[in-house]
């Protein structure tokens, strides 16, 4: 804020102050005009503007002036045009307050919370322009992929640029944006507005309020957790959204599509399910019951933890074309999630995937919404400092997404054990001796980046063994859910913790011995012997044989794959346990199948053979010709009964009373 006070002691000073007053008056009128044009105003707000105008006139006559419309005091006004789409791009204009700096920096995020990857959203910005108050272009230089420096910043009125979507580029680039964090522009049909891909921020102004005005096709409806108003701009209506700061903008994605919504209430939370299904295969109504049951179970599991009064599920079903989304999964936000899945999925599988994926994202209302570090609270979108607690942000969340299903009766014991052993085996694909805290802090660079997916495997297992240890010491009364409730009480949404102090705080509120646990398994690099912890609840792991399919395993996953770089050759997958059918026939991982029972094998020929195999008996003769390296080999034998050796979690033959009691507390809540 600039101030001039006192009386002029010379003619020179008088004219300097008079000139400043004229400039102030001009800017004041200009800003009032901008607010009227770009923002929706209540009568109360209009009165405030009138008061400001009068005060400006009084100051003009009193010899004292103030910069009432400085950029850090003025809401940033954003306009997004979804009607006049040009070459699959949309126009965005941003109108800030007045700047005092000679050079103004504008940023589009390099990365955003929850992705743990460098995505450089600035790559999708084109024709960036800056204008002064007379509508003339200012000089702009691009500092890097995500930063624009605007010269003569004191005269900066507004900026504009075109935004290209990320879905179109997924088939073109090696490093692609994860689809749930990406953007889609399909004129007149649908728009996936992950707003970090459309709206940026000025240096030093991330805490300034934002107003978003979006012109959209009449047939499309917005689904978002942002509060919406409809305003009129001439003969056109626009959607208007307000956010208290930049983080709230990018934390609230918007899906524009034809109306396909269902709204239901889970206790004190209003849930909106919105579905974009390009071929009309699915409706929100067809998926509502399973989602409603799942979220009701989640709320029962969480009890009195309340993170939000509103939650939006934005489901985008992809046709999987070259210009459509091909990265499937979800990205969490404080009060919503974006889910991207293939439209071709059959309903039961789609619903179960939604249960697993959405439950994970919804549990993020516990962490990082209510429990997070300063690195998360004050996230730097263009020079991020990562927290060391991915074991909690993602690991605890993934653990809860499985634990609640067994505790609330959505899955049985066998399925729960199957999921745990699956994570134990999946974790073996990563560096088991890598410190989780060091990995988290360095997750954006190698070799830690390559181990990121282990947060959903070993990260969940860390929480499982922590849960079992806490329950043993507390006679079943306290576990990880209890711990997260206590941390939520201590911190909450607006009070971040110091990254280095969280583990000490957990130890202080639980047991001193827990310090050794964290030192070894979370901070340290000691692999976990999961059997030591499973034994506390009367469980262990064992290798057992189970019957399986000839070409499909117990989960209907093929033992075979296709190599698109070798004329779609069909080969036996490497690095997996093969069934007795392949072992007795003499087939090895990596072998290319050239012929089965006289039929030359390619992708199309393989499908009917898999179908025929369901009718094979143990006496069926099978002849297979394979290529192993440069050698062609003929293999013959009977089909037999295919068996597969699998590692399973099984109860011990005789559990003690203490083990049985602890298992009941763990799995039944």
pLDDT in tens, 165-192: 999 876 566 678 999 999 999 999 999 9
Runs of H (alpha helix) within 63-198:
none
The whole-number average pLDDT for the span 31-47 is 35
**Could you tell me the pTM of the whole model?**
0.82
- Looking at the structure, tell me whether residues 181 and 299 fall in a common domain: no
Residues near 156 by Cβ (< 8 Å), separated by ≥ 6?
96, 99, 104, 130, 131, 132, 138, 150
In a domain, 543, yes or no: no
Rounded Cα gap, residues 445 and 485, in angstroms: 33
The answer to the question of residue 458 being in a domain is yes
Give the integer Cα–Cα distance in Å for 140 and 310: 41
**Distance from the Cα of residue 231 to its chain's centroid:** 31
Q: How confident is the model at residue 34 (pLDDT cuts 50, 70, 90)?
A: very low
Q: Are residues 268 and 383 in the same domain?
A: yes
pLDDT at 307: 67
Within a domain: 597: yes
Query: CA 135, CA 405: separation in Å to the nearest integer?
Result: 59
Question: What residues contact 447, with CB distance under 8 A and at least 6 apart?
Answer: 431, 434
Based on the fold, state whether residues 47 and 105 are members of the same structural domain. no
- Report phi then psi at 110, rounded to 5: -85, -35
Instruction: Count Cα neighbours of 384 within 13 Å in the Cβ-side half-sphere.
Output: 25
DSSP state of 369: T
Instruction: Compute the CA torsion angle 217, 218, 223, 224 (nearest 10 deg).
Output: 70
Q: Are residues 50 and 77 in the same domain?
A: no
- What's CA 141's distance to the chain center, in Å? 32
Asked if 208 contacts 182 with a C-beta cutoff of 8 angstroms, the reply is no
Structure tokens at 640: 């037999």
Q: Which of 257, 287, 307 is the last residue of a domain?
A: 257
Residue 25, pLDDT score: 34
Residue 450 backbone phi and psi in degrees, to 5: -70, -15
524 and 617 share one domain: no
Q: Nearest 5°: phi and psi at 281?
A: -70, -40
Structural domain includes residue 664: no
Left (φ > 0), alpha (ψ -120 to 50) or beta: where does 58 sit?
alpha
Angstrom distance (rounded) from CA 510 to CA 521:
17
Q: Confirm if 249 and 195 have CB atoms less than 8 A apart.
A: yes
Looking at residue 142, which CATH number applies to its domain?
Answer: 2.60.40.3650
Task: Choose the final residue of a domain: 68, 91, 117.
Answer: 68
Asked whether residue 527 carries a pLDDT value surpassing 90, the answer given is yes
Q: Give the other-Cβ count within 10 Å of 79's Cβ.
A: 20
Show Cβ contacts of residue 151 under 8 Å, excluding neighbours closer than 6 positions: 102, 103, 138, 139, 140, 141
| pLDDT for the residue 88 | 93
| Residue 464 pLDDT | 98
Q: Which of 392, 373, 371, 395 is nearest to 384 (CA)?
A: 373
pLDDT for 72-103, tens place per residue?
Answer: 888 999 999 999 999 999 999 999 999 999 99
Q: What is the mean pLDDT of residues 367-388?
A: 92
The confidence band for 448, taking pLDDT boundaries of 50, 70 and 90, is: very high
Q: How far is the C-alpha of 409 from the C-alpha of 663, rounded, in Å?
A: 15
Is residue 30 assigned to a domain? yes
Q: Is residue 659 part of a domain?
A: no
For residue 652, is it within any domain? no
For 534-551, how does the pLDDT look when each residue is reduced to its tens digit (9 = 90+)?
999 999 999 999 999 999
Are 188 and 61 part of one and the same domain? no
Distance CA 298, CA 295 (A): 5
Write out the two tokens for 64: 């004292």
The reply to whether 308 and 322 lie within a common domain is yes
Q: Is the pLDDT of residue 22 over 60?
A: no
Q: How much is the average pLDDT of 443-459?
A: 95
Choose between 65 and 363: higher pLDDT: 363
Q: What's the domain count of the chain?
A: 4
Instruction: Give the residue numbers spanning the domain of 313.
Output: 261-536
Is residue 220 assigned to a domain? yes
Q: Do both 148 and 223 map to the same domain?
A: yes
Note the Cα 146 to chain centre separation in Å: 20
Answer with the one of 257, 288, 307 that is the final residue of a domain. 257
CATH code, domain carrying 290: 1.10.390.10
How far is the C-alpha of 28 from the C-alpha of 133, rounded, in Å? 12
Same domain, 603 and 489: no
Q: Which of 36-50, 135-149, 294-308 is predicted with the least confidence, judged by mean pLDDT? A: 36-50
d(CA 128, CA 143): 13
Q: Report the chain's mean pLDDT, rounded to a whole number.
A: 88
- Does 142 lie in the same domain as 97? yes
Q: Are residues 458 and 514 in the same domain?
A: yes
245: nearest Cα among 194, 195, 208: 208
State residue 417 phi and psi, 5-degree precision: -60, -40
């Amino acid at each position: 804020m600039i101030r001039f006070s006192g009386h002029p002691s010379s003619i020179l000073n008088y004219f300097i102050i008079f000139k400043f007053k004229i400039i102030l008056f001009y800017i004041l009128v200009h800003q009032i005009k901008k607010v009227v044009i770009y923002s929706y105003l209540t009568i109360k707000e209009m009165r405030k503007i009138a008061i400001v105008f009068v005060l400006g006139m009084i100051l003009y006559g009193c010899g004292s002036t103030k910069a009432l419309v400085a950029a850090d005091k003025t809401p940033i006004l954003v306009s997004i045009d979804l009607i006049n789409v040009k070459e699959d791009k949309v126009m965005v204009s941003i109108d800030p307050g007045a700047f005092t700096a000679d050079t103004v920096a504008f940023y589009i995020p390099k990365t955003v919370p929850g992705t743990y990857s460098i995505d450089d959203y600035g790559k999708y910005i084109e024709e960036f322009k800056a204008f002064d108050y007379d509508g003339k272009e200012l000089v702009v230089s691009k500092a890097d992929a995500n930063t624009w420096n605007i010269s003569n910043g004191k005269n900066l009125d507004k900026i504009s640029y075109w935004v290209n979507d990320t879905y179109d580029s997924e088939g073109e680039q090696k490093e692609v944006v994860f689809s749930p964090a990406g953007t889609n522009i399909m004129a007149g049909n649908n728009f996936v507005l992950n707003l970090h891909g459309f709206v940026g921020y000025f240096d030093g102004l991330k805490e300034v309020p934002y107003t978003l005005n979006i012109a959209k096709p009449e047939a499309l409806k917005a689904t978002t957790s942002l509060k919406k108003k409809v305003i009129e701009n001439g003969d056109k209506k626009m959607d208007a959204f307000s956010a208290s700061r930049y983080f709230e903008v990018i934390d609230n994605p918007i899906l524009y599509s034809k109306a396909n919504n269902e709204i239901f209430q889970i206790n004190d939370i209003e849930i909106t399910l919105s579905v974009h299904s390009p071929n009309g295969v699915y409706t929100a109504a067809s998926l509502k019951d399973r989602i409603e049951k799942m979220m009701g179970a989640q709320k029962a599991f969480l009890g009195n933890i309340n993170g939000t009064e509103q939650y939006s599920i934005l489901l985008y079903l992809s046709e999987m074309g070259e210009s459509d989304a091909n990265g499937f999964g979800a990205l969490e936000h404080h009060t919503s999630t974006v889910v991207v899945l293939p439209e071709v999925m059959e309903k039961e599988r789609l619903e179960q995937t939604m249960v697993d994926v959405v439950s994970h994202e919804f549990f993020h209302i516990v962490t990082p919404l209510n429990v997070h570090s300063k690195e998360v609270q004050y996230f730097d979108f263009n020079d991020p400092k990562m927290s060391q607690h991915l074991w909690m942000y993602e690991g605890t969340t993934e653990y809860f997404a499985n634990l609640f299903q067994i505790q609330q009766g959505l899955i049985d014991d066998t399925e729960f054990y199957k999921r745990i052993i699956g994570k134990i085996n999946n974790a073996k694909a990563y560096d088991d001796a890598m410190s989780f805290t060091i990995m988290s802090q360095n997750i954006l660079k190698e070799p830690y980046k390559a181990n990121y997916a282990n947060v959903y495997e070993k990260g969940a297992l860390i929480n499982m063994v922590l849960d079992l240890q806490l329950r043993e010491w507390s006679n079943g009364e306290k576990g990880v859910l209890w711990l997260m409730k206590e941390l939520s009480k201590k911190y909450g949404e607006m009070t971040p913790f110091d990254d280095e102090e969280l583990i000490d705080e957990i130890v202080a509120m639980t047991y001193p011995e827990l310090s050794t646990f964290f030192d070894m398994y979370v901070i340290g690099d000691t692999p976990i012997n999961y059997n030591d912890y499973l034994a506390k609840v009367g469980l262990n792991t064992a290798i057992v044989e189970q019957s399986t399919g000839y070409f499909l395993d117990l989960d209907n996953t093929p033992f075979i794959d296709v190599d698109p770089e070798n004329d779609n050759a069909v080969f036996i997958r490497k690095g997996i346990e093969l069934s007795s059918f392949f072992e007795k026939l003499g087939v090895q991982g990596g072998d290319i199948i050239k012929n089965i029972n006289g039929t030359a094998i390619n992708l199309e020929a393989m499908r009917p053979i898999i179908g025929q195999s369901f009718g094979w008996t143990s006496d069926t003769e099978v002849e297979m010709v394979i290529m192993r390296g440069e050698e062609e080999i003929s293999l013959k034998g009977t089909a037999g009964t295919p068996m597969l050796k699998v590692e399973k979690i099984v109860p011990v033959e005789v559990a003690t009373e203490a083990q049985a009691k602890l298992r009941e507390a763990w799995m039944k809540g």
